[in-house]
Amino acid sequence: MRILLSKLSFLKTASKTLLFLLAALVIVSCSTSETEILVFSKTEGFRHGSIESGVVALEKMGKETGFSVTATEDSKYFEEDSLKQYATVVFLNTTKNYSFKYIFL
């Protein structure tokens, strides 16, 4: 029973991650100015096993649909000049609250 519940929990998490990635793809496909996305996946403590798979999935979608992916755990990318080159930012299963100089709504 525990194994079944564990598998169901994993499937729920994987489904949510996939939906999030698809939403990111829609956002990128609607953008006309840039074709590059920033994927931020910094963690402290627990690190979800799906992070690397999520980055690979986004990179594959990018190759298939014409956008490039910069995957990083370096918060130095969150500077105004650096962020200008990205159409969107994906926070992929990050942990901890990170304080950034710029907030985007």
In the chain, domain spans: 2-91
pLDDT class of 102 with cuts at 50, 70, 90? low
Structure confidence at residue 60 (pLDDT): 94
Per-residue pLDDT tens over the stretch 39-93: 998 888 788 888 899 999 999 999 999 999 999 988 888 888 888 889 998 988 8
Query: Considering the entire predicted model, what is its pTM?
Result: 0.62
Structure confidence at residue 105 (pLDDT): 41
Amino acid at site 72: T
Asked whether 93 and 41 are in contact (CB, 8 A), the reply is: yes
